[in-house]
Structure 1
Amino acid sequence: MPAPIDFYFDFSSPYGYLAAEVIDTIASKHGRAVIWHPILLGAAFKAMGAVPLPNVPLKGEYVLRDVARSARFLGLPFKRPTHFPIPTQNAARAFLWLNDRNTTKARELARALYRAYFVEDINISEADTVLDIAAGLGIARVELSDAISTGAIKERLKAEVDVALARGVFGSPFFIVEGEPFWGVDRLPQIEKWLSEGAF
């Protein structure tokens, strides 16, 4: 089997949302699996001495315009969230816990959370909101609630973020294909070329 694609994403990243909708389809066309890794962009910003996009002069407004255009280009719905960015620890912990048990269901949850935030303008920062969305997918609410509040899953997420930073991940979406890093949903055409033709 060819090496899988590592896909790093933060649930507050609009470009992460777009990538989450298409990366599995792209990979499947080329016989690749995808390993999904939730991260917390706050840790990356801290490591870089950066700030979230809305606080970046000029670039912040451009990016939100660009995301809407990129969504239209990909044929995906998008609505600018009222609250942006948001803390995403609860969503990331829920994904990690579920991913250990059922990767397909975990990706279903990830996409549902992304759509809730970037299509329906539902603030997914609160644990109860994450649990409501998960329950709507048939995921046991009480079990998930207990899981995301444990010290073990909190440490697990921290470890995931630390590994991501050690691999040079600094944004969302971020992909690693056969050791080659690609940052941004606009790099998907390059990833497709790499998968079909090899390194270039």
Structure 2
Amino acid sequence: MPSPIEFFFDFGSGYSYFAAVEIEALAARHGREARWRAFSLGTAFKRTNALPLTRAPLKSDYTRIDWTRIAREKGLSFQIPEGHPHAGLPALRAFHAIDRRDPALAKRFALEVFRLYFAGDLATDDLSEVAEVAAGLGYPKADLAAAVGDPELKAHVREVGEQAVARGVFGAPWVFVDDEPFWGWDRLPMVERRLAGA
């Protein structure tokens, strides 16, 4: 079996959202599994001295236009939430807690978090709201609250981000195909060609 493609994403990244909507079908077209890796872009920003796109001078205005334009073309309801980007640690940790038990459910959870967050209907830094999303998909609130508070899970989440940066990840979305890196939603056509020629 060919190795999975690795999909690194951050819940506060609009480009990650657009990639998340496409990545499963893309991988399936080439007989690959997509392995989703949620991480915090803040880990990379500390190394690169970067700012979130929507807080960076000049980049901010363009990013808002571009995200809205892409969402419209993809038929996605979209708005940049007030106070964006949220730190989103509860959503990040919840993803990893769910992923440990059921990776397929974790992907569905991630897509729902993206959809709700970029509709202005979810505070990703509010555990009670995040738990409601998980509960709606069948993951018990009590189980999630216990898992998210587990120091071992918190350490695991930090480690995922640190390992990503150690592999050269400095933005999101980020895809590895057989360890070859691709940065950005707009690189998915290149990922497709790479998979077709693998």
- Range into which the TM-score falls when normalised by the shorter chain: over 0.9
Q: Secondary structure at the match of 1:85?
A: coil
Q: Secondary structure at the match of 2:125?
A: coil
The equivalent of 2:10 in structure 1 is 10
* Percent identity between the two aligned chains: 40
2: CA distance, partners of 1:80 / 1:64: 8
| Structure 1 stretch displaced more, 153-162 or 111-120 | 111-120
1:23-47 CA distance string (max 9 Å, x none)? 0011101111111111111111011
The equivalent of 2:34 in structure 1 is 34
Q: Secondary structure at the match of 1:175?
A: strand
Q: Secondary structure at the match of 1:21?
A: helix
Give the residue type in structure 1 aligned to 2:90: N
Q: Is the 8 A contact 2:6 2:176 kept in 1?
A: yes
1: CA distance, partners of 2:192 / 2:68: 23
Unaligned runs of 5+ in 2: none
TM-score, normalisation: structure 1: 0.95
Give the residue type in structure 1 aligned to 2:122: I
**Offset of 1:99 from its aligned partner?**
0.7
**How many pairs were matched up?**
198
2: CA distance, partners of 1:116 / 1:41: 20
| Structure 1 stretch displaced more, 73-82 or 178-187 | 73-82
**Offset of 1:74 from its aligned partner?**
2.7
1: CA distance, partners of 2:100 / 2:45: 27
The equivalent of 2:83 in structure 1 is 83
Give the residue type in structure 1 aligned to 2:54: P
The equivalent of 2:131 in structure 1 is 131
The equivalent of 1:171 in structure 2 is 171
State the 4+ residue runs in structure 1 displaced beyond 3 angstroms. none
Q: Secondary structure at the match of 1:119?
A: coil
TM-score, normalisation: structure 2: 0.96
